[in-house]
Amino acid sequence: MFELTKDQVTSFRDDGYVFAQNMVDESTIETAHESFERMFRGEFSTGVLPDEVNWQEGKSDPSLTRQICCGWRGDYDIARTVLRADIGRACATLAGWPGARVFVDNVLWKPAGTRSLGLHQDAAYLPWMNPQEMVSCWIALDDTTANGGTMEVVKGSHKWAVSKPEGEFHGPEDYQKQMRLAAANEGVEDPEVVPIVVKKGSGSFHHGRTWHGSGPNESGNPRRSLVVHCISSETQFVPEHIGIGVGPVYGRYMRRDGNPVMDEAYFPILWTQDGYRTPWVDDYMAAA
């Protein structure tokens, strides 16, 4: 369990990101590595396929970053970290929300030599949510280096307008291109790109508007990470916008009676100021 300091909250609101130390321990890291091996072979301990499986052993381009979205649905050990109350509390505190729920997680593995992930804003993909806001917790599961394909964030870019998602995401030749175009539109001539260089178990939080992504892994070591994307506990669907961005994937969870509520069976609440937490979550975590 951890808690952000007031200085960290202030830094986040000024810069659009903040570093965080020692979020997971060595035992959790070792277990996560084992889960990564299983999941990218197509083996899921819960028996449920995650929402997006963007890389599979023996089938996918080995030069691309391995990615699974909503790994918590497919693996109990991944769920033990993704569904932590303290991560939800930290995200809600940073955003000024009354509580936080999980929207999606990312299981990310960049072996040595893999290509980049294009810089982007998470909020740009969420026009079908109200509010169109997100705070993300990025946890390194290996020691990171600036040339090892670690995540990069652009300082202060959370104050820029939300840009329309454009360009290639997986493996673009110029992974910073869209960010530089957005910076030019904001009148920013020299955007400050900050690599997240931390020891394994540590990481960062970033704002939904903060431009971020990662360059190629030019080191000789893998870069594995787990990202927990949280939204407000009060977030609802915008039905008329389903089908825009990633809506075609997660829009399947919208009720068909016109009620815009987000079902806790699929978007569980991790923490609220009044003490509420989705009741089944702790039992699910214990199944690991």
Q: Tens digits of per-residue pLDDT, 59-108?
A: 999 999 999 999 999 999 999 999 999 999 999 999 999 999 999 999 99
In a domain, 206, yes or no: yes
In a domain, 87, yes or no: yes
Q: Which residues of the chain have pLDDT under 70?
A: 242-247, 288
Residue 181's CATH number? 2.60.120.620
Q: Residue 164: its pLDDT value, please? A: 85
Contacts of 47 (CB under 8 A, 6+ apart): none
In a domain, 1, yes or no: no
In a domain, 86, yes or no: yes
Q: Residue 169: its pLDDT value, please? A: 85
The residues that bridge with 66 in the sheet, in sequence order, are 109
Q: What is the count of structural domains for the chain?
A: 1
In a domain, 153, yes or no: yes
Task: Read off the pTM.
Answer: 0.95
Residue 30 exposed, middle or buried by CB count within 10 Å (0-12, 13-18, 19+): exposed
The domain of 262 spans 6-286
Q: Which residue has the tokens 């970053």?
A: 65
Please choose, from the candidates 228, 221, 152, the residue with its C-alpha nearest in 3D space to the C-alpha of residue 191: 152
Cα separation, 127 vs 174, whole angstroms = 26
Q: Residue 167: its pLDDT value, please? A: 80
Q: What whole-number percentage of the chain has pLDDT above 70?
A: 97
Q: Residue 288: its pLDDT value, please? A: 67
Backbone angles phi, psi at 185, to 5 degrees: -65, -25
Cα separation, 264 vs 79, whole angstroms = 15
